[in-house]
Amino acid sequence: MFPSRIFNKEITESTMLDAREALNSGFGHGTLCTACRQTRGRGRVSGRRWIDDGRGALLFTIILEKRSITTSFPLTQLLALALCRWLEHGYGLTPRIKWPNDVLVNGEKIAGILVEMEGDYLLGGMGVNVLQEEFPANLRRPAVSLKQALQQKGAGSMDSLSPDKELYPLLLELESLIKESPGIAEIESRLMGLNEPVAVKLGDPSRNEVLKGILTGLNNDGALLISSPDGEQRAVYSGEIEQLQPPVEDSYQL
């Protein structure tokens, strides 16, 4: 059962950096690094930052042995599914996974995920918006906090909400998923854009290479499956969904 050891900081550069330091100091599987605020949080793509003003985000990185993950699909998707289950079971929300590493509620980003490898270990980082009431106007995509999502839903008092309180139910969902090895269908059913036209920016965003087609699901490795207008199906292992509706080509009829 994890966490086996917890390191918490009020302010840190990045919980991912803290996890690397913990690993280099001999702490292994199940070690959890958390913070109330991080000053250099970053996203999956170089140059993107996790915006955190210290006003209520859940920030953590957990160290897991690679061999503990028995599913064929990535830890990124296990973390996303754990978060979805937690939001569904705990709060009655309907989150969606924006492949490969974001979770959205009502089309707005509530969480971002970053997974890195270090030897025999995976470092699974997550930032979840919990208590924020406003976000910078210049974000690439609209963001939402758990508090805002519940207010939109017409929920009652928010007094019991706190990042610390939300951490352990989320980790329990992750631990359950690691033990039970869920099927790919459980992730597919929560994919944003499933069976819809999408534009996927492939690989490094600076290359500006875009694949357009219908998002038909995931393969057993967690790659995105895109069916192009000519009927070819392609597996995408690296990239991100850049655009949903409207249809990607006027001539492409569903």
Confidence band, pLDDT 50/70/90 cuts, at residue 231:
confident
Q: Where would I find the H helices in the chain?
A: 15-24, 75-91, 146-153, 163-180, 184-188
Judged by DSSP in three states, 95 sits in strand
Cα gap 177→173, rounded to integer Å: 6
Among candidate residues 50, 37, 187, the one with its CA nearest the CA of residue 114: 50
CA 109 to each of CA 41, 59, 239: distance values in angstroms, whole numbers, following the listed order: 16, 15, 18
Q: What is the pLDDT of residue 135?
A: 86
Residue 246 buriedness (CB in 10 A; 0-12 / 13-18 / 19+)? exposed
Q: What is the mean pLDDT of residues 181-209?
A: 88
Judged by DSSP in three states, 214 sits in strand
Confidence band, pLDDT 50/70/90 cuts, at residue 205:
low
Structure confidence by residue, pLDDT tens digits, 98-118 = 999 999 999 999 999 999 999
Structure confidence by residue, pLDDT tens digits, 11-65 = 999 999 999 999 999 999 999 999 999 988 665 555 456 556 666 999 999 999 9
Q: What is the pLDDT of residue 141?
A: 80
Q: What is the pLDDT of residue 250?
A: 37
Q: What is the mean pLDDT of residues 75-103?
A: 96
Q: What is the pLDDT of residue 247?
A: 45
Residue ranges of domains in the chain, CATH in brackets: 5-188 (3.30.930.10), 197-243 (2.30.30.100)
Q: What is the pLDDT of residue 15?
A: 96
